[in-house]
Amino acid sequence: MIGRHSLELALPGASIGAVAGAMAGGLTLLAGQPTGMAALSALALAVPLGLFGGLYGVLLGHGVFRPGTFGPVGLFWMAAFPVSRLMQESVAGVGMADGVLPFLAYQAMVALGFAIGFVWLHERLMPHWLMRRAGANPEAKALLGQYIQHAQALQTARKGSRR
């Protein structure tokens, strides 16, 4: 069972995923779909992306992922994003004309772009969140320590390259 401390680590990623999914509703609306369809599309993507984004935060806190890395996160989203899109299509889509496998393959390619944006935003929001929660949450404090170590390593590398 995931405890309260782990759930606090999930909040930034869940928020990013949910907002990204909700933006799909706006794009659906801009594409000329009715308001109800746009709302359903937004909800159908926001929920799974929010859940997977939260899972990323929990896995980051438990050491499965490390701050500043992209490869494992890219693989994570190459699985999570197509599943999220498949859920959206099954609820609010108009069907997959070419079939499920080509749809999933295309979504896996698109997922890398999503992963870059997700990681970029998460790396900017998470440390601020951890600083707020580190006093009351030992998992947040430990993860903040990893972020600090990573920042120090980057700073040392930059100083070495300027010589």
What is the structure's pLDDT at 31? 87
Separation CA 6–CA 52 (nearest Å): 14
Residues in the chain: 163
Separation CA 151–CA 157 (nearest Å): 10
Q: How far is CA 155 from the centre of its chain?
A: 26
> Per-residue confidence of the chain (163 residues) as pLDDT tens digits?
578 999 999 999 999 999 999 998 788 888 888 999 889 999 999 999 999 999 999 999 999 999 988 999 999 999 999 999 999 999 887 667 788 999 999 999 999 999 999 999 999 999 999 999 999 999 999 999 999 999 999 899 988 877 6
What is the structure's pLDDT at 95? 66
What is the structure's pLDDT at 29? 86
The structural domains of the chain, with segments of one domain joined by +, span 4-161
Separation CA 90–CA 82 (nearest Å): 12
What is the structure's pLDDT at 27? 87
Contacts 24+ apart (CB under 8 A), 24-32: 24/88
